[in-house]
């Protein structure tokens, strides 16, 4: 029987794509991962491969047609035998594309009639082929409503909430918390509300067997007798607020998060709360021990170690940084900035706009001043291709901010800074920083950066050698601002607010003089804010 390949929601607001070229014809045999068709979105040309071996029985579109998200693109006979033409002629009823939601993965329709109620983890692009189950928000047998969050998963980009696409009852969770789910495999099964009381038919496929190969061995502790997953236990109030890193620490330490009092915002559990809970548990256990016990005190274990896999954002960062250092010849340039005048201006504006509910930090000034300097030095906003044969210059200044989060380093970027006011930049800084700290940055905010600012000063340090965020050509790290003694024009010693900016540049297209002159212009805007105001559009 033929199986339809459903064009998944790939985010970015994309709801359709154009058929550029079919690489196969109806009746051709294909192998797993063989490219079947090239499609073009408004972002790029994408190759779509076959998910398994088989025979192509139907191409639903011709070259040049527009294919819709949620509709069948082509059909493959998974058993490799030709299907009757009459079976392929009937095109399934299209499913209306879901609205684009930047922080949620949209549901892809089921790939086969036998798993009509399964939520299939869709291909969300970016080379992502798997994700980790962070937290189930529901249990098997629980009633859910359309758009209710069912599960949180972590890719190598961010933590994403996956909602139910219709009302119904959760009949099966195919993975346990901490498992790795594969793109194209069922994530959970949903039974229609009207069928909730109807016994499952005898011929229903056995989900345990279907997921046995996709479920890693680490899921074994989460299985009950009979090989089935135990339903996740919800928190007492229905929800526990904690980051993936905190949840992992809790699992390793055997701490029940539902019994931990969170000290973070809205009751969020922090690493410190786990330490306090562990100490409290140890004190309670010690108090409960018999007072007459004369056993010698246990000697602390030494030489221990633990190994954990690199996953999610941290794994992506590791690959990105290694590739950047391996392929880009870095060179470093550092200079001191006197921010005394800027900080005085910032203090006045900060108080003024705080009354209007706008949080104004120094970062918007750095970003806007950099954009003004980029207009005079376009090479700093350019990128070199991997073969070092072409330089691409970008009109838009998409300036990224490196944000250290609990799930790893993220670099969201503010688009078209050259067209934004200082307050508009400030609003974007606040929005992206909040999203990054939650690990829920939209894919669109992570893509398309042209230059990056890293602020190490918030945690300390003055000078560093930052790694370029490939394929960008430069990155700057801001050190902490210190009040240091400096000589005034009359020879007296005065206190000035000093910060060191440390640059790394791609030496294939940027030389020392260029980065020094660019930095000097950026420095002028920041040390004398009036200069920035005179050229700001």
User: In terms of DSSP H, where are the helices of 328-412?
Assistant: 340-354, 363-376
The distance from CA 207 to its chain's CA centroid, rounded to whole angstroms, is 29
Q: Do 121 and 131 contact (CB within 8 A), yes or no?
A: yes
What three-state secondary structure class fits 475? strand
Known active-site residue 33: no
User: In terms of DSSP H, where are the helices of 262-337?
Assistant: 271-288, 312-327
User: Which parts of 168-216 are beta strand (E)?
Assistant: 168-173, 180-182, 186-191
Residue of 82, 330, 507, 528 marked catalytic: 507
Strand order in the sheet with 130-136: 159-163, 149-154, 130-136, 180-182
User: Measured between alpha carbons, how far is 470 from 451 in angstroms, rounded to an integer?
Assistant: 9
Residue of 65, 256, 323, 511 marked catalytic: 511
User: Which parts of 78-230 are beta strand (E)?
Assistant: 118-120, 130-136, 143-144, 149-154, 159-163, 168-173, 180-182, 186-191
Q: Do 15 and 69 contact (CB within 8 A), yes or no?
A: yes
Q: DSSP labels for 479-498?
A: ---EEEEEE-TTS-EEEEEE
User: Measured between alpha carbons, how far is 54 from 50 in angstroms, rounded to an integer?
Assistant: 9
Q: Which two tokens stand for residue 21?
A: 């070229």
**CA neighbours within 13 Å on the CB side: how many for 294?**
0
Known active-site residue 507: yes
User: Measured between alpha carbons, how far is 7 from 10 in angstroms, rounded to an integer?
Assistant: 9
Each residue of 407-440: b (16+ CB within 10 Å) or e?
bbbbbbbbbebbebebeebbbbbbebbebbbbbb
Residues carrying an active site annotation:
507, 511
């Amino acid at each position: 029987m033929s199986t339809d390949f459903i064009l998944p929601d790939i985010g970015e607001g994309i709801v359709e794509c154009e058929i550029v070229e079919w690489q196969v014809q109806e009746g051709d045999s294909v192998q797993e991962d063989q490219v079947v068709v090239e499609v073009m979105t408004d972002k790029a040309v994408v190759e779509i491969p076959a998910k398994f071996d088989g025979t192509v029985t139907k191409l639903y579109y011709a070259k040049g047609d527009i294919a819709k998200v949620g509709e069948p693109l082509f059909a493959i006979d998974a058993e490799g035998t030709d299907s009757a033409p009459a079976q392929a002629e009937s095109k399934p009823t299209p499913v209306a594309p879901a609205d684009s939601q930047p922080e949620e993965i949209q549901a892809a329709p089921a790939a086969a009639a036998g798993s009509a109620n399964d939520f299939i983890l869709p291909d969300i692009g970016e080379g992502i082929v798997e994700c980790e189950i962070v937290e189930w928000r529901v249990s098997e047998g629980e009633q859910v409503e359309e758009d209710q969050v069912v599960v949180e998963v972590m890719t190598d980009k961010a933590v994403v909430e996956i909602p139910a696409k219709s009302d119904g009852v959760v009949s099966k969770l195919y993975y346990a918390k901490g498992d790795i789910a594969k793109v194209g495999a069922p994530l959970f099964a949903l039974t229609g509300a009207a069928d909730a009381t109807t016994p499952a038919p005898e011929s229903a496929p056995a989900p345990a067997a279907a997921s046995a190969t996709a479920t890693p061995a680490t899921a074994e502790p989460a299985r009950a007798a009979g090989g089935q997953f135990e339903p996740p236990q919800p928190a007492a109030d229905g929800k526990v607020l904690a980051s993936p890193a905190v949840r992992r620490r809790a699992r390793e330490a055997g701490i029940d998060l539902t019994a931990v009092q969170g000290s973070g915002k809205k009751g969020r559990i922090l690493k410190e709360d786990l330490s306090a809970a562990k100490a409290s548990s140890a004190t309670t256990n010690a108090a409960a021990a018999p007072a007459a016990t004369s056993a010698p005190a246990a000697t602390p274990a030494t030489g221990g170690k633990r190994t954990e896999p690199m996953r999610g954002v941290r794994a992506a960062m590791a690959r990105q940084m290694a590739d950047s250092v391996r392929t880009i010849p870095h060179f470093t340039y550092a200079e001191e900035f006197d921010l005394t005048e800027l900080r005085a201006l910032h203090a006045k504006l900060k108080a003024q706009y705080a009354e209007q509910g706008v949080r104004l930090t120094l970062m918007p000034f750095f970003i806007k001043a950099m954009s003004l300097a980029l207009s005079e030095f376009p090479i700093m906003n350019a990128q070199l291709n991997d073969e070092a044969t072409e330089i691409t210059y970008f009109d838009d200044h998409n300036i990224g901010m490196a944000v250290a989060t609990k799930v790893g380093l993220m670099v969201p970027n503010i688009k078209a800074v050259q067209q934004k006011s200082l307050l508009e930049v400030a609003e974007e800084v606040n929005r992206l920083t909040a999203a990054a700290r939650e690990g829920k940055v939209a894919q669109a905010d992570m893509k398309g950066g042209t230059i990056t600012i890293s602020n190490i000063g918030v945690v300390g340090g003055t000078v560093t050698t930052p790694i370029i965020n490939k394929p960008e050509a430069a990155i700057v790290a801001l050190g902490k601002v210190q009040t240091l003694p400096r000589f005034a024009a009359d020879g007296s010693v005065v206190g000035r607010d000093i910060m060191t900016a440390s640059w790394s540049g791609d030496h294939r297209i940027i030389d020392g003089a260029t980065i020094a002159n660019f930095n000097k212009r950026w420095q002028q805007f920041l040390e004398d804010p009036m200069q920035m105001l005179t050229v700001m559009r």
